[in-house]
Amino acid sequence: MPKIDFGGVHEDIVTVEEFPLAKAREILKSETITVLGYGVQGPAQALNMKDNGFQVIIGQLEGDEYWEKAIRDGFVPGKTLFPIEEAAKRGTIIQMLLSDAGQVAVWPKVKKCLNKGDALYFSHGFSIVYKEQTGVVPPADIDVILVAPKGSGTNVRRNFLDGSGINSSYAVHQDFTGRAVERALAIGIAIGSGYLFPTSFEKEVYSDLTGERGVLMGCLAGTMEAQYNVLRKNGHSPSEAFNETVEELTQSLIRLVAENGMDWMFSNCSATAQRGALDWAPKFRDAVAPVFNELYDRVKTGKETERVLTVNSAPDYKVKLEAELKALRDSEMWRAGAAVRSLRPENRKK
């Protein structure tokens, strides 16, 4: 594996050059990969593996909306689509891709289905790391592995279809067979990872929960709302406020960052924009640092886990979630966003 220099820190990175798809197929040729949960990550990983020629079956609650989605995607009841427990019995690699709360709910049944030498696979370290709260403690005679794509299921599938792949981390929690690392890497390649970098279950879940609540989602949403509200309070129109807060970021600037980094994006903006960004970035960094420290501490101590499990396992969770999402969707800022998106040239042609 090549060592890549990340700003003076060297990491072992695995790409398809070192671990080609043919090697992954050879390693997993006698394996049946069971994907439990056809909600967010499940469809993308299952379809990518299926398209790459691996033996994949789905485990899902029979007859629910995700069961029907699996059928629409080409999985066949009784052949490649089964109730969760039946699917778990048939697999040699069991992918736990249910929600974190869902994994807790089905674990007692899934555990009974595991055979010596099987592999239990996760795309998130949550259930294993917070075992005191989840109760997910695997038997000692199986492999426990992780491949965590750094993106939503939607983009795991999109990137696979356009040939770009999405970066993933990988880890081994338990190596009973002596094959745990190669099994993890093989599945990482099978699901279409752009490259794979090593981590641990602990580091994956700590970074993931912090990222989701921070820059990737929570901080992003909150910061956008704050700027939009300031602009509106000072008399700017909804269109202007939204364009200066969201549209220019998502349709222009973030693409420049993705291509060559933040400094390159700065160098491709006006001198006035450069100066303002360089002056104000440290102010924002210092202002939010205490919030990030609090967030990381809550993740590491399990307080965020407790919150997730309590709220997400409530019987009225979906009703309350939809109410929260509706409030967000119906806010002026995101109604303005819908209007702005409808004016994009590609949408006006429809």
CA 292 to chain centre: 20
Q: Strands 81-82 and 9-12, how do they pair?
A: unpaired
User: What are the start-end ranges of the H helices in 28-140?
Assistant: 41-51, 65-72, 84-90, 100-113, 126-129, 131-134
- Who contacts 260 (Cβ-Cβ below 8 Å, separation ≥6)? none
Asked if 122 and 146 touch (Cβ cutoff 8 Å), the reply is yes
- Who contacts 113 (Cβ-Cβ below 8 Å, separation ≥6)? 85, 88, 89, 94
Helix (H) or strand (E) holding 317: helix 317-329
Q: DSSP assignment of 200-269, as one string? A: -HHHHHHHHHHHHHTTTTHHHHHHHHHHHHHHHHTT--HHHHHIIIIIHIIIIIHHHHHHH-HHHHHHTS
Tokens of 91: 């697999």
The four Cα atoms 227, 232, 237, 239 give a dihedral, to 10 degrees, of 30
Our answer to whether residue 124 is catalytic in this structure is yes
Q: Known catalytic residues?
A: 124
